[in-house]
Amino acid sequence: MEWEIVNSKAVTPQGVMENATIRIKDGRISSISAGIPKDVLPIRINLRGNFVYPGLINAHDHLLGTYLPKVGTNRPYLNWLPWDNDLKSSVVYAERQQLEPEQLYLLGAYKNLISGVTSVLDHIPHFVQKPFLDKSPVRILERFTLSHSICSYSLGWGDGPQIEYARAKEGNLPFVTHISEGFDEESKNAVRELNSLGCLGENTVLVHGIAFDSEDIKTVSKTKANLVWCPESNLFMFGKTAPIQEILEAGINVSLGTDSPMSGSVNIFQEIKSAREFFAKEYGKELDPKIVFKMVTENPAKALRVENDLGKLEIGKKADLLVLSSEKEDAYQTLCTADLKSVRLVVKDGKPSYGDLSLKDFFDETGVTGREIKIAGTDKYLAGDPLGLLESVTRALGYKKDLAFFPVG
């Protein structure tokens, strides 16, 4: 299948291309050029000057934990374990347990999709996520090795850091682990512990880093390990987050992740806003919108070892696209101030997944079936059967649940 976008502002690695035409063939970007070509493809979408970005990448989520409200009875916590204990003993967790894992995974996928995310790193053992990979409307990145965390009270994910890290290096995979998620001695010493095991390197993806000190940052930088920053979750649970300015100045590759809604953001747009608000308050200056853009596109693509396919608008890469309305002149500011109403179209693997209801003919032409739906008060068309999902959630709970991350109606 071949189709094209015309009259767009394409956010490419070289900058913003005005009056851009993007051609898609067999699920990949076949060309990006300025101007409108004389030959017309059978399917053409005129974006009337809207911005086109690569599909966003959420570098850290727990899709099985897609539920609300947040849990945090005894904040601030010393580390993640007492929060987990509060979670497991809460009324909201008992309510969540009435839903099937497939329902939670689909809710998590739609939560990401409607905010322009086309790829998610779902940090959980593979046997948990495997049944839902082919059913998800977003791409759940499955090629990684993992530990839960680097401490004596870590959950038993994987076969231990050294074995998992060795597998990552052998298979060109990311090795993903929570680290320094708290302020007890083990959290403070986690980087030194992981380094002593020989498990820090370009394949290492460290999530959180709240307790990083200057030596930790030097070590992470020297070993070229990557960091996923989740400020909304960190600030909610601990009242603190990673020393991000020092981390950025050290040249560490930083991505953004939402964590689950039970501690973190309702979507990637909120995470972006939380990151920028924290940076402005903590350091008295703006977090560069171009840096933020990279944190949700090319930086996670590099960290998660998928840069050959994702993270940039380039010829040959997968046609994962996000179209945002262009009320602002600057593409990067537009992304940093975007909300659910800003999203005009989301494309994954060269096919529309979500967009304005006015684009329904485009969905039909590309063979994508979905449902008319109202998101945040705007008329949309969403692939799959989201209304059926919500009806099944209502039946399971016995009442209609208000889900801020999926605001239908």
Q: What percent of the chain has pLDDT over 90?
A: 98
Q: State the pLDDT confidence band at 326, using cuts at 50, 70 and 90.
A: confident
Q: What is the mean pLDDT of residues 77-83?
A: 98
- In this prediction, residue 165 carries a pLDDT of 98
- In this prediction, residue 14 carries a pLDDT of 95
pLDDT beyond 90 at 271: yes
Q: State the pLDDT confidence band at 40, using cuts at 50, 70 and 90.
A: confident
Q: Which fold has domain 2-54+313-397?
A: Urease, subunit C; domain 1 (2.30.40)
Contacts of 67 (CB under 8 A, 6+ apart): 92, 95, 96, 99, 104, 107, 260, 261, 262
- In this prediction, residue 38 carries a pLDDT of 85
**pLDDT tens digits, 197-245:** 999 999 999 999 999 999 999 999 999 999 999 999 999 999 999 999 9
Q: What is the mean pLDDT of residues 301-319?
A: 98
In angstroms, the CA 52 to CA 135 distance is 26
List alpha helices for 10-100, DSSP H.
80-88, 91-96
User: Which sequence spans correspond to the domains of the chain?
Assistant: 2-54+313-397, 57-304
**pLDDT tens digits, 132-152:** 999 999 999 999 999 999 999
* pTM for this entry: 0.98
Mean pLDDT, the chain, as a whole number?
Answer: 97
Whether the CB-CB separation of 232 and 210 falls below 8 Å is answered with no
- In this prediction, residue 144 carries a pLDDT of 98
Q: CATH 3.20.20.140: does it fit domain 57-304?
A: yes
